[in-house]
């Protein structure tokens, strides 16, 4: 397609971007293939972030592209209202097969934010359906990221996302599990299991019978990669069980192989009641999300009179055919290429590479698990431009894509990454960290 105005940047109000800074020095991507982006000035940029934690199968994979093209010419849209189409059922069944045991039902959305708000609504409606309408409280966690819709920012705990906006009433937060004594841990840190006990304290204050759900990211990504201390998720599960609180794992980042298993639920061996996912479901190619529910949850909605729509919720594009085609093709690529197993096999190499940066200037912590890595830099007091952002700009100049949150650099490459790419990421980042010192 010929572009008439490729240099007119005035109309697009960019998301999550410092618009004024960007428009002075735009960073444009024009193509992608496998592990690389092509920049507008023709450079091959190694993707160290799988787009935005989503392109787990790598870029422009023919199987996915062809499935989308085929579907666009066959059934472009079907109403998500009293109608179905075969791909949606097929994808739900495939997801069920891939999901942890017991997650037998799938509710489709179009994003992680929608998955989170959908899961919160399912939790509230579930208790209503069982005659426990007094359970309306929600518990999230400080530094948690659950998207940008009102449910998500209410249970979320990243200050900048909450500032300026009202939150849902009756929401409280657990402390973040980011502890100094865990610095430079490899994998799950030792200290901090006790932080889960705050849920018990809140159950004592508000009454456990008033809490509907507790939502956490098993590994939080957007706040700068914060891992669950050993025993922490188990303890949360036990407290939820004791008080009849539903446990929701937000697996928008950790789903689809990122942790070397299909879901973090499998990796940690702790089973929630609801799982939210998105991103890797279509390898980031078409917007799509889902909530995975156990039979216990789903069945509570199926027991009323049949003429009532059991859970009155959905989106125009829930399970839209082209997204389903992308999802089915993506799950096939994961299976055929054994990408989750591959992530597991590469974890040790990845861990060594990420931790090899620990002696670089200003590094105060290195964290990793699965194919996620984070390098935390010492903040510069009073400095508006964070070291992390300087590192991101310098890295892009040097042909690697990283992500930063404040002063933490996060990496989460496509699962097709080769050892040579891991070396390139680490070596380039080493140069970057020395140069921005």
In the complex with ligand PMP, the residue whose CB is nearer, 111 or 282, is: 111
Distance separating alpha carbons of residues 67 and 90, to the nearest angstrom: 14
Distance separating alpha carbons of residues 343 and 137, to the nearest angstrom: 37
Binding mask 281-320 for ligand PMP (x = CB under 6 A): ----------------------------------------
In the complex with ligand PMP, the residue whose CB is nearer, 100 or 147, is: 147
DSSP β-bridge partners for residue 372: 369
In 3D space, the residue among 239, 286, 276 whose CA is nearest the CA of residue 256 turns out to be: 276
Q: Which two tokens stand for residue 261?
A: 């298993």
- Tell which one of 213, 236, 246, 253 touches ligand PMP (CB under 6 A): 253
Angle 321-326-331 from CA coordinates, rounded to 5° = 125
CA-to-CA separations, 367 to 70, 139, 180, 274, 399, in angstroms, rounded: 42, 26, 12, 27, 23
What is the total count of residues that contact ligand PMP (CB under 6 A)?
A: 15
The CB-nearest residue to ligand PMP is 112
- Tell which one of 113, 188, 265, 390 touches ligand PMP (CB under 6 A): 113
**Strand ranges of the sheet holding 372-377, from the earlier edge strand across to the other edge:** 363-369, 372-377, 408-411, 403-405
In the complex with ligand PMP, the residue whose CB is nearer, 9 or 52, is: 52
Q: How far is the CB of 256 from ligand PMP (least distance, A)?
A: 13
In 3D space, the residue among 235, 219, 294 whose CA is nearest the CA of residue 270 turns out to be: 235
Contacts (Cβ under 8 Å, ≥6 apart) of 297: 105, 122, 126, 246, 273, 274
In the complex with ligand PMP, the residue whose CB is nearer, 35 or 252, is: 252
Q: Using the rule CB under 6 A, is 391 a contact of ligand PMP?
A: no
Q: How far is the CB of 179 from ligand PMP (least distance, A)?
A: 20
In angstroms and rounded to an integer, the radius of gyration of the C-alpha atoms of the chain is 22
Interacting residues with ligand PMP between 191 and 250 (CB under 6 A): 217, 221-222, 250
DSSP β-bridge partners for residue 291: 107, 276
Q: Using the rule CB under 6 A, is 271 a contact of ligand PMP?
A: no
Binding mask 317-356 for ligand PMP (x = CB under 6 A): ----------------------------------------
In the complex with ligand PMP, the residue whose CB is nearer, 59 or 279, is: 279
- Tell which one of 147, 189, 280, 327 touches ligand PMP (CB under 6 A): 147
In which element (H, E) is residue 235 found? Answer: helix 232-243
Contacts (Cβ under 8 Å, ≥6 apart) of 235: 193, 196, 197
- Tell which one of 50, 57, 91, 116 touches ligand PMP (CB under 6 A): 116
The residues that touch ligand PMP, with contacts defined as CB under 6 A, are 53, 111-113, 116, 145-147, 217, 221-222, 250, 252-253, 278
């Amino acid at each position: 397609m010929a572009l008439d105005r490729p240099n007119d940047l005035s109309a697009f109000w960019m998301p999550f971007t410092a618009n004024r800074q960007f428009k002075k020095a735009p960073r444009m991507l024009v193509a992608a293939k496998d592990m690389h982006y092509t920049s507008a000035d023709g450079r091959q940029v190694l993707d160290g972030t799988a787009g935005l934690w989503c392109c787990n199968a790598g870029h422009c994979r023919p199987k996915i592209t062809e499935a989308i093209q085929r579907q666009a010419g066959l059934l472009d849209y079907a109403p998500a209202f009293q109608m179905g189409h075969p791909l949606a059922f097929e994808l739900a069944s495939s997801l069920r097969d891939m999901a942890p045991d017991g997650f037998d039902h799938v509710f489709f959305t179009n994003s992680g934010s929608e998955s989170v708000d959908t899961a919160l609504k399912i939790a509230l409606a579930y208790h209503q359906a069982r005659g426990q309408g007094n359970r309306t409280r929600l518990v999230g966690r400080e530094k948690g990221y659950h998207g940008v819709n009102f449910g998500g920012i209410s249970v979320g705990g990243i200050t900048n996302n909450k500032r300026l906006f009202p939150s849902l009433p009756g929401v409280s937060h657990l402390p973040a599990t980011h502890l100094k004594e865990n610095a430079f841990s490899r994998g799950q840190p030792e200290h901090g299991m006790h932080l889960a006990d705050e849920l018990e304290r809140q159950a004592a204050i508000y009454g456990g019978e008033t809490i509907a759900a507790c939502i956490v990211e098993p590994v939080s990504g957007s706040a700068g990669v914060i891992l669950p201390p050993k025993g922490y998720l188990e303890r949360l599960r036990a407290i939820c069980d004791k008080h009849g609180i539903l446990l929701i794992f937000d697996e928008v980042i950790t789903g689809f192989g990122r942790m070397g298993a299909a879901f973090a639920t499998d990796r940690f061996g702790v089973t929630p009641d609801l799982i939210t996912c998105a991103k890797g479901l279509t390898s980031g190619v078409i917007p799509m999300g889902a909530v995975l529910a156990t039979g216990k949850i789903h069945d509570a909605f199926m027991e009323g009179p049949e003429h009532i729509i059991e859970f009155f919720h959905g989106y125009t594009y829930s399970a839209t055919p082209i997204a389903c085609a992308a999802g089915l093709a993506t799950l096939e690529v994961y299976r055929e290429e054994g990408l989750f197993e591959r992530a597991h096999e590469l974890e040790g190499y990845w861990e060594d590479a990420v931790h090899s940066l620990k002696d670089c200037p200003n590094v105060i912590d290195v964290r990793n698990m699965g194919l996620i890595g984070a390098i935390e830099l010492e903040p510069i007091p009073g400095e508006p431009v964070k070291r992390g952002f300087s590192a991101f700009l310098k890295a892009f100049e040097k042909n690697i894509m990283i992500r930063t949150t404040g002063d933490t650099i996060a990496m989460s490459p496509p699962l097709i990454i080769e050892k040579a790419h891991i070396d390139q990421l680490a070596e380039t980042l080493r140069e970057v960290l020395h140069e921005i010192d």
